[in-house]
Structure 1
Amino acid sequence: MQNQKKILRLIAISLASFFAYAMPSYADTPYTVTDGKALDSNSYQGYKVYRQWCARCHGTFGQGGPKAPNLAESLATLSLQEYTDTVTSGKVNPAKKATKSGRMPAWKRNPTVMKNIDNIYSYLKARADGAIGTVRPRLGK
């Protein structure tokens, strides 16, 4: 009986380890793109919220602008946690510390942005990975 419990525990640990490493993680590809510009519903929602709240500084498709960096490039190396922390708490660019344009606001009090923080990440990650270009995406089927 004691050996059976040990064997069952060993099997459970083995299966958990297998699935933890064998299954793709959310951070790998949190989006689906078809036909070069059709996004899954979450990423498409992220695009819409991005356009409403982020595009004024970061550009229509995340390509950056005079006030803010290119997010398609930034998210190629930025982790999900770093992205979430930046959106939630804001960020100051040390090189432009004295100017208003060197400061990204904290969005933690904006319920629309916070509700869609993962969706925005999915859209921007698709841009960073080159899965979708500087095109107006559409909702996929």
Structure 2
Amino acid sequence: MQKNSLKPSSLAIIASLLAFSPFSLADDKPYTVTDGQALDSATFNGYKLYRNWCARCHGTYAQGMVGPNLADSLNVISKDEFIASVTHGKMGQIGMMPAWESNPQVMEGMDQIYAYLKARADGAIGEVKPSKAK
């Protein structure tokens, strides 16, 4: 009787394919938007933090001003790159983004800010003042 077993190299290939498949378990939508402008509690808090700390350079709704359009940028950069830029700052073509690592509100709300910006990047919410979903 022949024993059917997968070799370690076969398992590695299968694992790689699953990791990059559309059926990945990664949460690529860290937000919930209803009625085109009502955000879940965490994402709404991210919007408030964004308005308080980020909007002065990146625009009221992340559409860009002195700083780049983050609604577009989050379609290009990864969450890890976003976190690194916010934490450590970044030198760009038009100037420098400051590091926010010493700001506890920004650091503790990083995932929430990302969720709001990801909703903007995905087109789930437009350039509107959102509300908190009930």
TM-score normalized by structure 1?
A: 0.78
Confirm or deny that 1:25 pairs with 2:15: no
- Name the count of aligned residue pairs: 117
1:76 Cα deviation (Å)?
1.0
Please show how residues 3-18 of structure 1 align to structure 2 within 5 Å: none
TM-score normalized by structure 2?
A: 0.82
- 1:29-71 residue CA offsets vs partner (Å, 9 max, x unmatched): 0000000000011100000000000000000000000x10000
Which residue does 1:57 correspond to in 2? 57
Which residue does 1:92 correspond to in 2? 91
Gaps in structure 1 of 5+ consecutive residues: 1-16, 97-101
1:23 Cα deviation (Å)?
5.8
Which residue does 2:122 correspond to in 1? 129
Q: For 1:60 and 1:24, how far apart are their aligned partners in 2?
A: 32
Query: What secondary structure is seen at the aligned counterpart in 1 of 2:60?
Result: coil
Which residue does 1:73 correspond to in 2? 72
Which residue does 2:101 correspond to in 1? 108
Gaps in structure 2 of 5+ consecutive residues: 1-14
Structure 1 vs Structure 2 CA RMSD: 1.7
Which residue does 2:81 correspond to in 1? 82
More helix by share: 1
Q: For 2:111 and 2:53, how far apart are their aligned partners in 1?
A: 14
